[in-house]
Amino acid sequence: MDKYDSVNASNVCALSFFSGCGGLDIGVQLGGAKVISSLDFEPVAVQTLKANPFFAHSTHECADIRDKKGADYSSLLKSHNPEKLIIVGGPPCQPFSKAGYWITNEKRKGINDERNMVYEYLRIIDEIRPDGIILENVESMLHPTNKAIVEHIEQRFVAMGYHVRRYLINALALGIPQKRKRVIFFASLKPFKDDLTFLSEEEIVKVNVLDWIGRFDSETLSESEETTKGKTYDFELSEVPPGHNYIALSARDGYPNPKFVANKRFWNFLLKLHPLQPSWTIAAQPGPWVGPFHWNNRRLRVREIASIQTFPMDYVFEGTRRAIQKQIGNAVPSLLGKAATEYLISQL
């Protein structure tokens, strides 16, 4: 039975919201559920979903969740008639991002931010009433400033009759070659029987990025966008040792004729991968000199950032290079989605 047959044979179906280019949805299907519907507001992300045979059995809709009702899915659910139904999604994270901390608490909108789609996600969950739910978001959602929204999510789930678990999951604990933490809320109509078993920082798998992207370091796979030759900080990038950032060129690290002052720039300025260490978080919209860069003094290639996010090697991305970077950077690592889905299904 190949991966497509096993998906079609699943008796657990999933409705996906804020689907993006499918990072979480891939994991959902690898974890044992069949994604029968996806929805996203970005046309290019929906084009990516449609371009991949892994989701050939799914309906893909480019729409705003605010315009959707639970009743819109009645006929689809009737046609599939799943034994168990789950809803998965990660509402837009801008209201909870670390970038927001540069704004004073008096000016931050937080729970009232118009980009906060959590309420819409909870609304449609309440209208559909699935057996289980995954709600994922950025680590900084747990910042004290966001306490009200975290409490609101948990209280709403309980009010709807769900049991709730919340975890901060480090992708490294799953062997994913990236330092990336995500907050995941699990909700189930049945009480949870077990706890997650891969959360211990002491048990994090030793993983290096070379094992995942080394195969793509060939001139035949080069991209025009990857070169920094002749650009502003090309020489400085070449001087940064693998595993370091611009601070390696400062007086603090003993660099002769220092180019920079430590702690005066963002930490990921001229940040360079070390082949024998995991990657830092892949950004959705990095600035021109924001890393991680490849240890060979170039920007990472599409297939490299996709592999760091554990997308399948044959996964197709639509759009411009910038649009693809945004899709991949905003995605949930697929293997994290797989582990989360396996856990949820085991509790239903």
Residue 58 has pLDDT above 50, yes or no: yes
Residue 210 has pLDDT above 60, yes or no: yes
What's the pLDDT tens digit per position in 104-139? 444 444 455 555 799 999 999 999 999 999 999 999
242: its two tokens:
């693998």
116 or 97: which leads in pLDDT:
116
Give yes or no: 62 in active site: no
Cα–Cα distance measured from residue 78 to residue 74, given in angstroms and rounded to the nearest whole number: 6
Mean pLDDT over each residue of the chain, to the nearest integer: 91
Fold of 3-199+334-347: Rossmann fold (3.40.50)
Q: Which residue shows structure tokens 């260490």?
A: 277
10: its two tokens:
């699943």
What's the pLDDT tens digit per position in 259-310? 999 999 999 999 999 999 999 999 999 999 999 999 999 999 999 999 999 9
Listed by start position, the domains of the chain span 3-199+334-347
| Active-site residue (options: 13, 21, 62, 93) | 93
Which pLDDT score, from 0 to 100, does residue 108 have? 44
pLDDT bucket at 205, cuts 50 / 70 / 90: confident
Angle, nearest 10°, between helix axes 334-347 and 23-30? 50
User: Residue 2: what residue type?
Assistant: D
pLDDT bucket at 157, cuts 50 / 70 / 90: very high
Q: What is the DSSP code string of 51-120?
A: T-GGGTTSEEEE--GGG--GGGGHHHHHHH--SEEEEEE----GGGSGGGGGS-TTT--GGG-TT--HHH
User: Which residues pair with residue 164 across a beta bridge?
Assistant: 187
